[in-house]
Amino acid sequence: MSNVPDDLKYSKEHEWVRADGDVVTIGITQFAQEQLGDVVFVELPEKGATVRQFSSLGVVESVKAASDIYAPISGEVVERNVKVIEKPELVNSAPYGDGWMIRVRLADKGELAQLLSPDDYRSHIGETAGAGGD
């Protein structure tokens, strides 16, 4: 049901990673933005900050609630998406495109192996949706 692009890796907490050499791009998934509803505020770490795998890197707030964004991998923030801070609704309209969050220089490539494949993530949200819906 939910769009899960085949060229990305995923975390159980609904972040995606696009690996491009040493620098990866991080965002939240289509499924995550659907669950959140209208995103109205995004808080992201500054350039130069360090993020740790599976630790909170920032926050997305929808009209209803605030949710942590967890870093799917560790490393140094080389860029944060200023556009998404100014226009948080990009998270809803283009979660895999203009709604990306940060770019990070990988500290440990091995961490990528701990992430979910698109198929694993699909079954993960299948489970999640089933558990939440009943």
User: How far apart, in whole angstroms, are the C-alpha atoms of residue 126 and residue 96?
Assistant: 19
Question: Phi, psi at residue 40, to the nearest 5°?
Answer: -120, -5
Site for other proteins contains 66 (CB under 8 A) = yes
Closer to other proteins at the Cβ: 11 or 62? 62
First-last CA distance in the chain: 18
Site for other proteins contains 108 (CB under 8 A) = no
Closer to other proteins at the Cβ: 41 or 123? 41
43: part of which helix (H) or strand (E)?
strand 39-43
The site map against other proteins for 24-63 (x = CB under 8 A) is -------------xx-xx-x---------------x-xxx
Q: How far is the CB of 13 from other proteins (least distance, A)?
A: 17
